[in-house]
Amino acid sequence: MKKKIIRRQSDNTHFDHPLHPVLQRIYRSRGIQSIAELEHQLEKLLPFQDLLNIDKAVACLAESLMCQENILIVGDFDADGATSTAVAVRALKSFGAEKVGFLVPNRFAFGYGLTPELVNVAKDLDPALIVTVDNGISNHAGVKAAKDAGIKVVITDHHLAAETLPEADAIVNPNQPGDRFSSKNIAGVGVIFYVMLALRRYLLEKKWFQEKNIAEPNMSRLLDIVALGTVADVVPLDHNNRILVSQGLRRIRAGLCVPGITALLEIANRNQPRLIASDLGFAVAPRLNAAGRLEDMSVGIECLLTDSLPEARELAKRLDLLNEERRVIEQDMQEQAFAVLKKLQPEQKNLPHGICLFEEEWHPGVIGIVAARVKDRVHRPVIAFALSDNNELKGSARSIPGVHIRDVLADIATKYPALISKFGGHAMAAGLTVPRASFEHFSKAFSDSVSAKMNDDMLNHVIQSDGELQDQELTLELAETLREAGPWGQSFPEPLFDGVFEVIEQRLVGRKHLKLVLSKDNKLIDAIAFNIDVNEWPNYRCKQVNIAYRMDVNEFRGKRSVQLIVEHLEIA
């Protein structure tokens, strides 16, 4: 797979604001039309009233709360599910709910969402109301089982809906038919945050807090958790999501976050006062996700719920150990996956457009990461499978721009109704279950369906650059400006530049990272390329490199300097 650098195009929008010229160019290329789209005040958030059925959800929640009925939050086993659960529990308790618990399915025993099997476990907890967070929109059988048991069900979710909806008491999901909430990209944690905003408003109008002598809850205190879940779920950072993340980052930087986030940042050795969105994505989220991948997400949820920093630190240590274990398992599975790939096509030429991989000993909690790694290597949609119970295979799919992976699975399910037991997800990621005996048949159907949606140009890995920086622009000041100009993330990518540099020094550090000293017009600058191919680098015959890079601020012994983070390099 060849990587190709293409420079982004930007229009001539002029911002009536003293922005750095490079930053103006970057914003224009990301579709920003006015300075208002860069404002992150809370009052700029979309109104909760736009969410379909939010009044019905609030009525159910308020009734259970005011009657002090047992409310059970049913979450998911990833970071979005964990943060959603924490937001729901913390909010309801701050509203005066005395009987609030949570239940998160163990992925190995129950699978995803509110299943009938999970409802049987929930019955032992005697809930009057089940509230799903980050799941439920596809759990028809589970909702029916709960309703048959006399349990009210409110679904809050953000995943794409099927042709029919579960018969819950209320469904709040911006991606359900007829919903006019304009941020279809909101994460599950954002949806439950909005539901809690609406419930708070309702309780204020009913003078509930005044009657019960409860201090009026400050909902901004939940934004640190909302920001973490939004970044961790890699949802597109539209304006509304950028507000949620920006406000959450401000609270974390100021030390106004839950002890669990502080503890996870400490163990990841991240600078809390200078935190950026990518720190949440690459340092905190993997440790939180490790619990759901290898053990039980309850550990991660408890870390976000405790108000004791010493307890949070103990839970963070446990999550860190799980993450280290996950890394070892992942590395082994990656090596196996690339070996299988090599057998498919030794030269990685004429690979299927859609690739399915399966090894019997693969860990079901790590297949999503493996699928992502292989997808990055071959730039094709990939599904990694692991053996599940009942002689079935659980798959985790990752896609590339231009191929909506859930639509691919829907097409296959329509054409071959018995081939997929169940599926769900987004444009870029999805989960599914297939009969083990159908693996070969499914693999062929998947490749054919993906091929129908792709052309050869889509197989090229395009690196979108924000252009070249001149030597006078490679400054600490610009690096700082770009760092603070986000939050950057999915569909609002961190600025990436390209250019040709002279190579002054190069050496391997940490066994697989390339440390460089580069020169541009006689100006020396440090750079580092992570996880390089050690068979190609260091290359001491190379005198010039063409690189795609991000600007970063390196801090060492109190000294701060510009460092380039190299995303791609080739001999110039």
What does 199-256 look like in DSSP terms, one character per residue? HHHHHHHTTHHHHTT-PPP-GGGGHHHHHHHHHHTT----HHHHHHHHHHHHHHHTT-
Evaluate whether 136 touches 155 at the Cβ level (below 8 Å).
yes
Could you give all domains of the chain from N- to C-terminal order, each with its CATH number? 43-320 (3.90.1640.30), 345-461 (3.10.310.30), 463-571 (2.40.50.460)
pLDDT at position 349 is 61
Amino acid in position 52: L
Evaluate whether 412 touches 419 at the Cβ level (below 8 Å).
yes
Question: What burial class does residue 275 get, using C-beta atoms within 10 Å of its C-beta: 0-12 exposed, 13-18 middle, 19+ buried?
Answer: buried
Secondary structure letter of residue 324 according to DSSP: H
Torsion of CA 143, 146, 147, 149, to 10 degrees: 160
- DSSP H or E segment with residue 79: helix 79-94
Q: Classify 201 in phi/psi space as left (phi over 0), alpha (psi -120 to 50) or beta.
A: alpha
- Spatial neighbors of 91 by CB under 8 A, at least 6 apart, are 193, 196, 199, 200, 217, 219, 222
CA distance 313 to 206: 39
CA distance 4 to 45: 37
pLDDT at position 467 is 95
Instruction: Give this prediction's pTM.
Output: 0.92
pLDDT at position 459 is 81
Phi, psi of 516 (to 5 degrees): -130, 150
Q: DSSP characters for 359-424?
A: -TT--TTTHHHHHHHHHHHH-S-EEEEEE-STTEEEEEEE--TT--HHHHHHHHHHHSTTT-SEEE
For helices 259-267 and 298-305, the axis angle rounded to 10 degrees is 110
- Spatial neighbors of 5 by CB under 8 A, at least 6 apart, are 462, 463, 465, 498, 546, 548, 568
In the three-class reduction of DSSP (H, G, I as helix; E, B as strand; rest coil), residue 20 is classed as: coil
Q: DSSP characters for 442-491?
A: HHHHHHHHHHHT--GGGGSEEEEE--PPPGGG-SHHHHHHHHHT---BTT
- Which residue has 């019955």 as its token pair? 123
- DSSP H or E segment with residue 525: strand 523-529
CA distance 351 to 471: 41
Amino acid in position 555: E
CA distance 83 to 227: 9
- Spatial neighbors of 395 by CB under 8 A, at least 6 apart, are 356, 367, 383, 384, 385, 386, 431, 432, 433, 434
Phi, psi of 430 (to 5 degrees): -155, 165
pLDDT at position 347 is 54
Residues of the chain with pLDDT under 70: 1-2, 344-349
Question: What burial class does residue 128 get, using C-beta atoms within 10 Å of its C-beta: 0-12 exposed, 13-18 middle, 19+ buried?
Answer: middle
Secondary structure letter of residue 492 according to DSSP: B
Give the residue from 129, 142, 1, 157 showing the smallest Cα distance to 73: 129
**Residue pLDDT, tens place only, 151-161:** 999 999 999 88
CA distance 536 to 529: 13
